[in-house]
Structure 1
Amino acid sequence: MSNITLSCLIQGTSLDKYFKITIDKNDDISDLKDIVWNKNKNTFSNIDANNLILWKVKIPISDKAKFKQLDFTESTIEGDLGGTKINDATDEIKDVFGNSPVRKHIHIIIGQPTIVQLTTTTRALNQETQSLANEYNGRSLFSDNLFSNRETSDISKNDQPDKKNSRGYITNTRSRQSSHNNSLRSEFRQGLNYDETNIFGLSLFNQNKQNSGINNRTGFNLSGQSPCTCKILLLGGTGTGKSTIINMMANYFLDGTLENPKVVIPTKYFEVTENAFGRNDTEAKVGDVTRSQTTKCCNYEFKHPENPSCNFVFIDTPGMSDTNGIEQDDKNIQEIINTAIDAGSLTAIIIIASGTEARVTPTIKNTLTRLANNLPDEIISNNLLLILTKCTKSSASFSEDVFAKEIAKPKKIFYMDNQIFCADPQIWLNDDDEYSTVKHQWDKSFKTFSNLLKIITEMNATSTEAFTTMRELRNKIKSEIVTISQITTNIQQVQDKLEAAYKALQKTGDQKNSFANYTTTEEITIKKPIQKDTKDTLCTTHMRDGTICHENCQLEFNCESGSSHFIRCSCMGQDGKCRICGCGPSSHYHDNTEMVTETKTIEKVLEDIKAQYDMADKTHKKISNYAHQFQETFANLQDQANANYDRIFQLCTDLSKICSRFNFVNELHANIENMRMDARNIQSIDLRKNAESDIRKLETFINGLSNRINK
C-alpha cells in the first residue's frame, strides 16, 4: 500500500484534540496542506491552505507531561521539540516523513492562525464608517454595481443591478467603483495595520485573501525556461467539467480573479469575455449537461505571463457518451483523431472524469472503452494525466483501479472542485461561508494548474503518427464491417428463403402423400390352360367351350390336326364321326393342358387423382432444387463472412500492436449497451423494432468476431 497515516496537532490545542490523516506517500506537501485544511475548515476558514505553517515533529503521545508543560510557541517547537518547519510545498511526503512513520506519535504541528483583535483605531474606524453610511442615506460604500445582476443584497438594498444582455448572461462580477468612493477608501486605508478592519467590514488579512487571485500562480516559475510549445489534448465524457477547467485555465493565464473572471466558454451564468477565443460555430446548447458543450475540436493557446516564449495549446474535444447516441460518439472520436494527427505531436493527454462517479455505469464504460481503444501506447505510457473533477482527493469516489485497468496508470492524478462557472453567483456572492468556500476552490485550482503545468513542461512531446496508422486500420475495419453487414443481410435473406422452401417442401410432400393412392383394385374370373401328365383328344372347333372328346387318349401323341391319325381314337363312331362333338378325325388333335377357372385381383389407375399426384410431385422436386441452391448460396455467403471476420481479426491484431488495450469486441458491447438504453426511450413501436433489429445484427457480428478470437 502507498498510504501512510500521520497524527496532527494544531498549535495551542490540547492533546485530546489531535487528529489523524491518511495520505499517499507519493503526494507532495501541498496535498498534505489541503487535507489538513479540509479536516479543519472552521478553524482555518480565514486562511488559505497554501499559507498553513507545518512543523515536522516526533513526540510520543504517551508523553502527556510534555504536552502540558509546553506552550508550543515557534521557538519551543523548534528548540525543545526538535521540530523542523516544512517550507517546500513540492517535497514528496515519503521524503519528509519516510515510508512508515512511527506509530503513536505526533508527527505534525500546525501553526494556529492569528486571531484578529479589534483595536481602538479599528473601533473608531467602524464608527466613522457607520457615520459615512448615514451620510449617504443608508447607501453602501460599495459601488452601485459591485456585482452585476445583483438586485438586493445584505450590504445594500439600494444597489442598482446591471442589465443583462439578450442572452441573460452576467457580464462581470467586479464593481467599477466611483472615484469618490475610491478616494474615501484611500483615506480610510492610510495608517491601517493588518490586524485592523477596513471600511468593507473585512480585516485586511481577509481582504488580501480575496484579492490573492490576481496573481496566484505560486510554486511554478517559467522565467528561466527555454522557448517551448506544449500541446495538450483534453479528453473526457460529456458533463465531466472540461469547459469549467478550460475557463479556469484562461483565468490562470489571463490574470482573471474571482471578482472579475475571464470566460472563454459560455455557461448558464456567464457569457464570453475573451472574444479572441470565441467559437460560436462549435457550441451546443449552453447549460445542457447531457449534451457535449463542444461539437468540434478547438484550440486555446496561452502564453505564460512569466515567459511569453512558452506557449501552451490546450485542445478541447467533444465529450464522449453524448445523448445523441453512438453515431455522434463515432463522429466525435473521428474528430479527435483527426485533430491529434493535425497537431503533429502531443506533450500530454489529459483525461477529465467526474470524481463523484463510484460505479462504472454503461455511460462511463462506453467513455473509457472508446478512449482506451483510440489512444496509442507510446502516448499513453509517457504522456497521460488524469483530472478528477467535482471532488477533492479525500472525497473522490472514482475508481482509479478501473481507470488503470481500462486505459493506463496516469503519471499524475489531479483533483479539482470548482463551482464558480456552474453555480449561480447570487448563491455565493451574498453568503460569507459560501464565498469562503468558492474562494478556497478558486485558489486551490490555481495551485493545481501550477502543479499541472510543472508536470507538463517536464514531459517530452510524442509524435501523433501512431494516430494516423490507427486511423487507417480503423477505416479498413469499418470497410470490412460494411461488407460483412451486407453479407449478413444477404445471409438473412437466404435463410428466410431457405426456411420458406423447407415449409413449401413440407406442404408439397403432404400433398404428394394425399394423392399417392391414385389406384384401386377389383376381382375378375378368368380361364387359363394348365399342363397335366395325360393327353386328351380335343376338337379344334369345340375346344373353346371346354369340350374334351377323349380323356387320357392312348394313341401316340399328335398335337396337330388335319390328319387321319384320330380315326382309331375310341371317340370315333362307326360312321367315322366323333361321338362327342360330331366332327371328323381331321378336326382333332392331342393336348396335355386343360382350361381352369381362376379368380384374380387387378389394380385400376384413377386418372384424376394420378394427375394431381404428378403435379404435386413436380412442384416438390422444383422446390427441392431451389432449397439445394439456397443451401449452396448460404454456404458461400458464410464462407465470405468467415473470411471477413478473419480479416477484421487480423486488422484488430495489427491495431493492438499500437494500442495494447484495443478490444473491438468490448467497444461493440459498449455500443450495444448504449443502443439498448436509447431503444428503451423510443416511443414508436416500428422505430423500436428497427433499433432492436440493428442490435441483433450487431450481436451477430460480435459473436462471429468472438469466435475468430477464441479459436
Structure 2
Amino acid sequence: MVILTTIKLQYFDVIEKDLEHSFSEFNVNDQASSQTSDQRNLELIAEKAIDEKYLIAIVFVLNGSQARYSEVIKNTINGLNNYFQNLSWRIIFFLILTHTNKIGANFKLDLFEKEVATPKWQSDSESRSDIEYSWKSSKQIIDNFLNAIKDNDFKSTEDFQKITELQRDINAQILKAVSEITKINGAIFQLINARYKCANNKNILRSSQNYTQMKVIEFNECVRTHYKNMICMNHLDKICHENCPNCHDLQKYKIVKRRQTYEEVITELKDQYEELLSNSIELKAKEKKIISDLEFFVNGVESCYNSIKHDIESLKLMSKLNFDKTLRSTFNKLRNTAENITDKNLKAQQLRRIFEIEKLV
C-alpha cells in the first residue's frame, strides 16, 4: 500500500515542527544518478530495520519533484524486493513528497505494482491560513495512517528480527570459537611442557635405573693341608719371622687370601628411581588427558564453524545485503587468535577453515 501526500515548498515551515522528532527517522543520500548511492540507501534502510527488529511500514519523505524521484522510488522498492525476498508485499510504503508544486504532485501511481495510493492535495490557495488548514487535514490522514500501522503491529514482518538474531548468533559463535582456539593453544603449551618433562624424566630414569652396585671384598681363609705349617696368630697373612711369643702353632692348614663379589643396594638411588618411575606414569597419564582435551577443543571449534556457516547461509537466504561490515571485527579477532597457534599443522587447519567461512559472507 502506498499513500502519497504533497506539501508546497513555500509553506513547508508549517509542518516542520509537527514532524520534528515524531518518528524513528534517518536520512538517505539523494543522488538519484548514483548506483552506489542507491545501494547505500538500501543498506541504510536495512540497517535501520535490523536495528528496530520489526518493520511494519517504510515512510519516504522526499524533497523534490516527481520527475526527479519517481525512478528512485521505483528502484528502491525493486531493490528492497531483490535484497529481501517476499518482503515488499508485506510492507506498507508511505510517501510524502515535499518542496514541490501542484504539477509536480502528479505522481505516477502505476510505478507501484498492486498498490492502493491516495493522492492528497487540499488547497492551491496562497493564503497561509488555508495552507495550515490543508496541512491539518492532510496531517489527519497521516495520523490515521500511522495509527493504522500501529494497529497492524502484530502483522509486522519478523524478517529483520531474525536477521538480528542470526547476526547475534554468528558473533556469539565466533567469540565461542575464539575461546576454543585459546583453549587449543593452552593445551598445546601444556602438551609441549608435559612431553619435555616426560623426556627429561626418561633420561634421568635411565641413568638411575641401576640403583645397585657390585662390591669386592678380600678375606683370609684357612685351607687344610696334608703337612703341618707354622701359623702365627698375629700374622695370618704372611710367614712370621718375628717369633711372636705364645702365638705360633703348628697345624695341618694354611692361610690363603680369598675374594668375593656381592651386590649392594644404594638406598638413596633406589628411592630416586622409584619416585621417577611414579612421576613417569603420572606424566604419561597427563599427556594422554591433554591430547584428549586438545581433540575435544578442536571438535568444539569445528562445531562453532559449522554453526557459523549454517547461520551465514540462512542470512543469505533472507537477504542479499553484504553483512561483512557487521561481522568484520569479530572475524578479525578470530583470525588473530588462530595466528597465535604454535602448532604449525593446527594453525594452518584453523586459518583454512576461517578463510572458507569468510568467503561465504
TM-score, normalised to structure 2, is 0.46
TM-score (norm 1): 0.26
Structure with higher Rg: it is: 1
Higher relative contact order (CA 8 A, sep 6+): 2
